Structure formats: C-alpha cells, structure tokens
Amino acid sequence: MRVRVSFLAAMVCLLGISMPVFARTLSASMDVSQTTKIANVQLKPGQYRFVADSSTGQVKVVRQYKVVAKVKGEVVKLNKKSDMSEVLTTNNKITEIHFAGTSEAIKF
C-alpha cells in the first residue's frame, strides 16, 4: 500500500513538472519596410521574428538574434489551420499574427 501511494505521488509530481512542456512555441517572420507598431512598441524597418507562447499569449520580438520587445497578446482560435505564417497589419500597426499549421493566432 505504501509503495502505491509513493508511486502515485511521484507520478503527480512528474506531471506537474512536465506541464510547461505542453505549451507550444510558435513563430512567424516579417520584413518591416517602414516604422510599425506592435502593442505600444515601435519597430524600425528591418527583419523581425515573432516568437509566441501559445499558452500565455506572450510574444517576443526578435531582431538580429536579440529580443527587442516583449508584448502581451490574446490567443484566439481560428476557424481553420493557417497554411502559412502571416503578420496582419492595419495602418502600420500589427493587429494579428497567424502561425503555419495551427488554428491559433495572437491578436493585439
């Protein structure tokens, strides 16, 4: 009996430790040709990569291997999986990021 309780306790602890593994990291790239905003951060022209955590909506904006901003977005479900990664903009402001092969997007 004591062995079963210890085994069950160990399995619960292992499951708790491995929960962050279930969060998916999503990424998309964009060439910015003119000053563009994401949340309250201005991005100068250049190439950027957006790395998002699908469980929290946290997005890291990376340029030349450096994180230049961290912004919070809202994870939304799309009607179908995206065929390719897309960064949607309106009036030089990033409004949404879609990720290839998933039905998840980040909305700002």
pLDDT in tens, 25-42: 899 999 999 999 999 999
What domain range includes position 71? 23-107
Q: How far apart are CA 51 and CA 29, in angstroms?
A: 9
Q: Is residue 8 part of a domain?
A: no
Q: Is residue 84 part of a domain?
A: yes
In this structure, what token pair is assigned to residue 35?
A: 């000053």
Task: Tell me, yes or no, whether 4 lies in a domain.
Answer: no
Q: Residue 15 domain-assigned?
A: no
The model's pTM: 0.76
Q: What percent of the chain has pLDDT over 70?
A: 79
- pLDDT of residue 9 exceeding 80, the answer is no
Counting the structural domains of the chain, the total is: 1
Q: How many CA atoms lie within 13 A of 103 on its CB side?
A: 5
**CB atoms inside a 10 Å sphere around CB 89:** 15
